[in-house]
Structures are given as structure tokens and as C-alpha cells.
A = this chain, B = another copy of it.
Amino acid sequence: MPVGTAATVKGFTQSALEDLGAEIILANTYHLYLRPGHDLIRRLGGLHQFMSWTRAILTDSGGFQVFSLSDLRKVTDEGVRFRSHLDGSEHLLTPEKAAEIQLALGSDIAMVLDECIETPAPRVAAESALLRTTAWAKRARKYFLDCAAKNGDPTQWQFGIVQGATFADLRRRSAQQLIEIDFPGYAVGGLAVGEPHEMTCEMTGVATEELPKEKLRYLMGVGRPEQIADYVSLGIDMMDCVLPTRAARHACMYTSEGRVLIKNARYAEDQRPIDPACSCAICKRYTRAYLRHLFTAGEITAAILATHHNVHFYLDIMRQIREAIEFGNLAKFSSAMRARYAAGPA
């Protein structure tokens, strides 16, 4: 899922995203709650109508941004009290409020509020966050079902989020407790936040072993191009990541041959496309030399072209993975990607 934080995938028009074949995007509840506000979006017909996007939208709970962006956050059993990073105003995000906001936004998939903790976390902190996450998930589910009973089926799916930091038994317990609540889909949260990739995979595998195969399983906030196939191998169906869009704006291009840091002087007269093996509209038309020039000159067109290519590259990874699964080649595809993206920066 490309990330469209504030109801736009930065640098994309909606029709360009459609042309690329994006079927679902992620929008951030924290940002939309603060600006322009979920009530405004509800009055204007919901997020789909507001941003003119008829395909699927997943919203997060806002929790992750509260924990990472806002000031003065204070977590109690009730919820998280925080100050807006925009104007310092004080807000209280509870499991019910997070569900209410997302119902107002009218996203297709909504996430429950979970407690995010810093890693590495001591076991006692991880266990306490997990218990609170379960308690919050119950309240969020109850609020959601009460609303559905009152207002009719909202056509929204609400997902629970497995926590448990880097402790396999806690991950298992978290998954089991969420399954008991019964969600139409499950996410795995609190991973890819600094721990080694092997640990991310181990914890993801522990969770997916527990989570029902017939329901969607979503690994939040991943990943690098060479890691995606690993997560799919572990049973993950959905991922979101700012990497393709954010890296693009910083002139880091993903290609079939690895990363191309396009501002490098070596590309000044390079007449090849960003990725000679790529079929996207940017690679068909523009050279590395031109893209380097646009970045060097600080032109916003640079971000448009680069973002288009990188999102195409990510969506194409998923297409290739589906094909590899069909032909039984996933392990081979995965190791080929790893070889290309061996070391170096994300």
C-alpha cells in the first residue's frame, strides 16, 4: 500500500496512481484528525469522496503517530493524552475515539488503537503493553459493533493488532487474545522499528502461525524491497511503507539492479532510463541525466517523476511475487532481490 498520509500520496494525482494499478492506499488517522478534521471529512462525504479515490483505503489508528510525533503524550488505561505537533492543542485518543474517527473517515479497513512501545523493550514493558493492547482492542471492537448495530453495517473492516515486542510467547498470546475477540483481519505491529530483519521475520512468523489463514494478515510499516518476499513467505498479505515515496523525494531510486542515488555526479550525462528493465512511464520517457538535473535544481517535477517510478517499482515487486508464487519460484525471487539490495542504506 502506498502511503497517503494527509489524503494524498505525495507527488501523485489520483489518476496517476490509478494508472499505476494501485488498488489500496493507506491514510493516517492522526494527521487527518488534526487537519482537516474527521468531522469535516465526514460532512464532505467521507475520505473517498473528499480525495476522489474510489479504490480501497486503509486507515491506521493514529496511535503510532501519537507515540512518535506528538509531545507530552501520557498513556493511561483510558487512552493516550497528547499535544498536537501542529498547534500544541491537547487531545485524548481512546480506543473508542480512534474507532469513531475512522468510521467518520469511512475507510475500508480500520485499525484498533494499540500501545506502541520503544524497542528494545524489557519483557515487563512488552507484557504490560500487550495486555493494554488487548483490553483496548476489546473496547474498540465493542464500540465498532455497537455503532454497526445502531447505524447499520458500515462496510468497514476493523483489524486487531498483534503486539508483544520481540518475545515469541507474548506475540503468540497477543494473537490468541485477538482471535478470541474475533476480527475480520489482523495486523502485526511494533516490528521493523530498529530490530534486525531476522527478528522481524521470527516475530512475524510466530504471529502468522497463530493467525487464521483465511483472513487478511497485514504487517505494518514494512519494508525494504529485498524484504518484501520474506514477509509474503511468512504468510503476510498486506504491507505499507513510506519508503518508496520518501526515498524518491530524497533522490533514491529503486531499480532492478539495486539503488540508484540519482543526484550522484556519475549520472550527469547518463542517457539511460532510471531502470533499463522498468516499464513505467518515467523510464520510457526520461533519462537519468534529466532526473539528476531536476533534483539538482530543486524542481518539484523531480519528486513527481521519482515517486512515480518508485511506487511502480514497489507495486511491480508485488506482481512479481504473485507470479513467483504461481510458478513456485518465491524463494528464488527472494534471494535474487537480496543479492541486488545486499548492503547499503534503505
Which residues in B have their C-beta under 8 angstroms from that of A269? 40, 43-44
Chain B neighbourhood of A11, CB < 8 A:
300-301, 304
Name the residue on B nearest A36 (C-beta): B293
Q: B281 and A35: CB pair below 8 A?
A: no
Find chain B residues with CB under 8 A from A281 CB: 15
Residues in B with CB closer than 8 Å to A289 are 36, 40, 44, 50
**B13 in contact with A304 (CB, 8 Å):** yes
Annotate A258-291 by CB proximity to B: 1 below 8 A, 0 otherwise: 0000000000110100000000010001110110
Flag A1-17 by CB within 8 Å of B: 1 or 0 each: 00000111111111100
A294 located at the interface, meaning its Cβ lies under 8 Å from any Cβ of chain B in the complex: yes
| B10 near A300: Cβ-Cβ < 8 Å | yes
Whether, in the assembled complex, A176 has its beta carbon less than 8 Å from a beta carbon of chain B, the answer is: no
26 of the cross-chain contacts (CB-CB < 8 Å) are A7-B290, A7-B293, A7-B294, A8-B294, A8-B299, A8-B301, A9-B301, A10-B299, A10-B300, A11-B300, A13-B304, A14-B285, A31-B297, A35-B293, A36-B289, A36-B296, A40-B268, A40-B269, A40-B289, A44-B269, A44-B287, A50-B293, A51-B290, A52-B285, A52-B290, A300-B304
Query: What is the interface of chain A, defined by CB distance below 8 A to chain B?
Result: 6-15, 31, 35-36, 40, 43-44, 50-52, 268-269, 271, 281, 285-287, 289-290, 293-294, 296-297, 299-301, 303-305
